[in-house]
Structure 1
């Protein structure tokens, strides 16, 4: 298992609190590009400058943040009530290990009154029915800095499953961050301007992508992200190649960019899957609506169990995404018409 990918996945970086991930990414990419800087929103932008006046100006965006929880209240006996940061299926939280990221971090788990007392859960619990149990009361938690507004990370170490597949938390979108880092290393000698952008707060509303697009002002952009599998319909399967977005719940991808990617895949025998979905969207949507409009699409890696701590991905798909995008970046188009 690649050490960098493991470290990226296991590092905590809930939306709005991406500092640790950003520091790790900056350390990796700063040797491969001409400059790195952090904008006012907290995005990390790594720039490979152009050596040609007519060069394309490209933006590849991968978001650093992950889903998580935040404390709403703490009862006298220490029951921590919370709300979510990002979209989380409530059932995926039951029994989940967590770390309260207070001044002195506190370990705990998500539970319900029924589960705590060993009773059957007869009705589907909602977020408001759950709480975090740390074994500490309110006074003890306060002494460690755990209070209203403290962020809570979902805990899970990366593990291997069948073949080249692995599971873990935050695959969305540390996989994209990893791909961007690998591309930065491969594109050291590129004649074109490539902006590797590591965005913040995608899970809350794709806020970092919007502000960074104004900073970069690209000719076109690709969000390097993940896509949820749809095995029941034999779509977006693990190990069958990265996905190229056609349409999601909020955007239609730029056809010119998609056609270019599909042509590269066909010529180089890189397996790909087309992604048409009614669920969710990515940084590409916000990018496409910025600066008077930016041609954009998404290259994704299929994930099982999206937005959980047991997301599953294939290294084969990741490596093929790197291959596909590296070929594109060697000779990127200047103009991408609709």
Structure 2
């Protein structure tokens, strides 16, 4: 059985891919999927679409989506002293990724800066800092409290192509896998672990020349963190009625989901109730394969599939989640999670699509 190269996941984690600028991540995924697909193209929304032809031209087509983008920041304004005021792209706060080095993706040059709050050794005179101190204002740190120190003048930044709208990412120095025991940790396992799962599932699906019953569209999507924009477009323009999303899922007691358990089949999230027949089929298949699938009803959560269905671009939706600690933060996965989830997805795609339940 093929296994995901740790180098692939690590490479994806270290590659910048903020919302709307996912090209570098897309190139890595394209390199991996091209040998496994019959056709590969990039659509007008920036999605990478890899088609694996099925054996039965009358069988329903399936779209499988995993998103390319990462939580990031965007420049709101450039101050006269060369500091940057930033806001978030996607649901994140400064505490999610901590203060420290960032990459400022200028049009002409990528610069290094530091996301900073300021000195702890300050008084109420430094009101912005004072507000966040537990023994003072006790406010949660948000984007109005922090800024990016660049060490550049405003003219230097303009020459590098930095202006309002420029993306800012957690620096590569803070990215990449940390391995400990049976677990790995990193920022941006959401959704780079799912992209790795997508590639591994494609390998499994094509083992020994295997083919799915219907056409399968493996879609690496854009701007999921900003509302599932790429997946909605792909669901509208590609054949088929079904969109299956691959994404992380919170391993929390609230959901009775454990980080070392099997893949999680979602039955609902904030956007939709997922297709019952599809969810049941995934759970049953996971049991057959000895993968100990978990089930969940997610809250404060949606996916490429549920957003596509909620916007009327997909008639049926399913979500397969990788159980993950500390989602949208420094995330943790069990080392077997990618392999187990890929096995379940590949087996699901190798079988006929379950009919709509009554």
Residue of structure 2 equivalent to 1:17? 21
Deviation (angstroms), 1:30: 0.9
Residue of structure 2 equivalent to 1:229? 251
Does the 8 Å contact 1:254/1:295 carry over to 2?
yes
Distance 1:149 1:116, change over 3 A: farther
Q: 1:279 aligns with which of 297, 300, 304?
A: 300
Q: 1:40 aligns with which of 41, 44, 50?
A: 44
Residue of structure 2 equivalent to 1:79? 83
Deviates more, 1:118-127 or 1:313-322: 118-127
Residue of structure 2 equivalent to 1:205? 227
Equivalences for residues 1-338 of structure 1 within 5 A: 2-102=6-106, 103-115=108-120, 121-122=132-133, 123-124=138-139, 125-155=141-171, 156-188=174-206, 189-192=210-213, 193-231=215-253, 233=254, 235-289=256-310, 293-308=314-329, 310-333=330-353, 335-337=355-357
Q: Please, what is the CA RMSD of the aligned residues?
A: 2.1
Q: How many Å separate the matches in 2 of 1:301 and 1:191?
A: 23
Q: How many Å separate the matches in 2 of 1:281 and 1:152?
A: 24
Residues 89-113 of structure 1, C-alpha deviation per residue, up to 9 Å, x if partnerless? 3322441321101122111221124
Q: How many Å separate the matches in 1 of 2:177 and 2:31?
A: 25
Distance 1:127 1:55, change over 3 A: same
Distance 1:303 1:258, change over 3 A: same
Deviation (angstroms), 1:165: 1.4
Deviation (angstroms), 1:39: 1.0
Q: Normalization by structure 2: what TM-score?
A: 0.88
Deviation (angstroms), 1:292: 6.7
Distance 1:289 1:277, change over 3 A: closer
Q: How many Å separate the matches in 2 of 1:191 and 1:277?
A: 29
Q: How many Å separate the matches in 2 of 1:137 and 1:208?
A: 36
Q: Normalization by structure 1: what TM-score?
A: 0.93
Distance 1:234 1:276, change over 3 A: closer
Residues 175-206 of structure 1, C-alpha deviation per residue, up to 9 Å, x if partnerless? 11111111112222214211101110100011
Any gaps of 5 or more consecutive residues in structure 1?
Answer: none
Does the 8 Å contact 2:255/2:296 carry over to 1?
no
Deviates more, 1:108-117 or 1:255-264: 108-117
Does the 8 Å contact 1:301/1:318 carry over to 2?
yes
Residues 49-101 of structure 1, C-alpha deviation per residue, up to 9 Å, x if partnerless? 12323323111111111110011112122221011111103322441321101
Instruction: Count how many residue pairs are aligned between Structure 1 and Structure 2.
Output: 336
Deviates more, 1:74-83 or 1:152-161: 152-161
Does the 8 Å contact 1:93/1:110 carry over to 2?
no
Any gaps of 5 or more consecutive residues in structure 2?
Answer: 124-128
Deviation (angstroms), 1:116: 8.4
Does the 8 Å contact 2:235/2:314 carry over to 1?
no
Residues 114-144 of structure 1, C-alpha deviation per residue, up to 9 Å, x if partnerless? 4486976423232112101122232222232
| SS of aligned partner of 1:241 | coil
Deviates more, 1:106-115 or 1:288-297: 288-297
Q: How many Å separate the matches in 1 of 2:314 and 2:160?
A: 47
Q: How many Å separate the matches in 2 of 1:180 and 1:223?
A: 10
